[in-house]
Structure 1
Amino acid sequence: MDGEPQYRALLAVDIAGSAGRGDVALGRIRAALSGALRASLAHSGVDWDACLRQDLGDGLRVVAPAGTPKASLVHPLIHELAVRLRAHNRLAAEPAQVRVRLALHAGDVHLGPDGTAVGRPLEVLARLLDAEPARAALAGDRRETVAALLSQHFHEETVCQGRPGIDPASFHQVAVRHKEFTAPGWLHLPGGAPEAAGPAPGADAAARIPDTVRTPDTARMISKASGHGVIYAVQNGTLHIGRTT
């Protein structure tokens, strides 16, 4: 490689469970991931066309442009990617569902005139991408669409800096052991798809029995007509029943 090494932010994604789906399904999930990642990078202020990208078959490796704020690859990118993949999965059949492991690291890499990149940081990125903690996280909760694993270096320079939109408590330290590589990493799960909201347990039953006097610690605000009377309930108060004229 020619020239001095350049410090770059590095990102890699890999589709979980892509093997055995067949060429048609693989083509669709690759396209869905590429579109979601491109949109998420744009939302984070990163120019897709200015990135160095390498096709990993069932994933992508991205070398961000020089000067890219590393924190932007944490927030809003991880959240945006998770949201976009959840939206895709809601409308996709099972063979076209997309859930990914995502790795983040940064360091000095050598860039060739043909757009290739080499260097130890890229090896670290590959080990993070294949590490067991992220694999286990996706296997444990089917609602999760992204399991992000950050290197210690990346975590220290982004999550630990108190930047808006990044909650340090949502990152958990894990041991990364893959082949000859052993190092601490930080796992982040942006959250599974929210379940459909429904009434609280017992809410329907309570509505069907409006004249039951509730104790002050369970009283709720209601206003419901029953027969020829009107019931008035006050939060944390008592029930008053009066007859209309």
Structure 2
Amino acid sequence: MRDPVNRTILLFDIEKYSDRDDVEQAWLRRVLYDITDRALERSGIDETLRQRADRGDSVMELIDAGASVPALLRTLLTEVPALLHGYNRLASSSAQVRLRGVVATGYVAVDEHGGWVGSDLNHACRLLDAPLLRAALRERDNGFALCVSEGVHTGIVRHDHQGVPAADFHPVTLTSKNGPLQAWLHGPVPSGTADLGETGAGETPVPGASGDVPAPGTPGAKAPATSVQAPAAPGSPGRGGVVFDFGGGSPRFGGGLVAGDQHGVSGGQVTGDVYLGGTVGEGA
């Protein structure tokens, strides 16, 4: 195996490829190759600076580290949606092309069989397959959803280069079999992704929190339900009930009893057992 080399990694995947018949799949692959070639050419990346691997419904490109990543991102954000629009406006409904894309950086080695090996490449592939990116594509009118790795964001996107507006990228946490992956999604974070175990900006899960109610002390927070078990009434072994139930708002009394002499707050006194909201002899 050759030594690993630093490369920019570009991945494209076709949405719902396996739902099409053989003729449609062949058409989709031609479109995918054409869009990839044209996007890289318009980014100033010629064939001498790239290697391609075919994965059927997806394509993987290893791009020389000396090629301009800002130029690549500008092309992906503008040219790819335009190319997709040009194809789709002339294609039948069964031949529509919609793409997920990932741009990452890292070290990749080529083994003796021509295969590509590297944890950075694995990371990029998992970003491409993440449910959140699939959900984002379903909400994109332009047919393209792009995600970049943390390294690409740190080195390129956050610096707000011309044509690559940093404000349009949002931090997301994606799930994978090896744990959560941090990345940046271009465009709005899709709704409902927390149900997929994935989160967007401002939605980072808090360990141990259910998310059902606000934390105590915050606006709208309700006190947890609290109950006090009443003692058994004389002659009714084991009978008791909930006397106080504080579920937020005013206390509610019902179905329980208070046994023994009771002293009021203002100094008054009630002698004997007091029943609240029920009658003696009712079932527990």
TM-score (norm 1): 0.72
Q: Please give the secondary structure, in 2, of the residue aligned with 1:166.
A: coil
Change (3 A) 1:165 1:35: same
Aligned pairs, how many? 188
d(CA) in 2 for partners of 1:22 and 1:183? 34
Q: Is the 8 A contact 1:104 1:154 kept in 2?
A: yes
Q: CA deviation at 1:134?
A: 1.2
For residue 166 of structure 2, what is the amino acid of its counterpart? P
Deviations 1:144-189 (A, max 9, x none): 3110011111111111123111111111111111222412211114
Q: Please give the secondary structure, in 1, of the residue aligned with 2:156.
A: helix
1:199 alignment counterpart: none
d(CA) in 2 for partners of 1:41 and 1:64? 9
Q: CA deviation at 1:38?
A: 0.6
d(CA) in 2 for partners of 1:140 and 1:166? 21
Q: CA deviation at 1:95?
A: 1.2
Change (3 A) 1:16 1:82: same
- 2:104 corresponds to 1:105: yes
d(CA) in 2 for partners of 1:115 and 1:67? 22
d(CA) in 2 for partners of 1:13 and 1:76? 14
For residue 16 of structure 1, what is the amino acid of its counterpart? E
Larger Rg belongs to: 2
Q: CA deviation at 1:112?
A: 4.5
Higher RCO (CA-CA < 8 Å; seq separation 6+): 1
Deviations 1:190-214 (A, max 9, x none): 9xxxxxxxxxxxxxxxxxxxxxxxx
Structure 2: tracts of 5 or more residues without a match? 189-284
For residue 171 of structure 2, what is the amino acid of its counterpart? Q
* Higher helix content, 1 or 2: 1
d(CA) in 2 for partners of 1:61 and 1:123? 12
1:59-98 equivalences in 2 (<5 Å): 59-98=58-97
d(CA) in 1 for partners of 2:13 and 2:151? 21
TM-score (norm 2): 0.62
Q: CA deviation at 1:47?
A: 1.2
1:38-57 equivalences in 2 (<5 Å): 38-48=37-47, 50-57=49-56
Q: CA deviation at 1:113?
A: 6.9
1:224-235 equivalences in 2 (<5 Å): none
1:153 alignment counterpart: 151
d(CA) in 2 for partners of 1:87 and 1:189? 21
Taking only aligned residues, the RMSD between alpha carbons, in angstroms, comes to 1.8
1:168 alignment counterpart: 166
Q: Is the 8 A contact 1:144 1:189 kept in 2?
A: no
Change (3 A) 1:182 1:49: same
- 2:177 corresponds to 1:179: yes
For residue 12 of structure 2, what is the amino acid of its counterpart? V
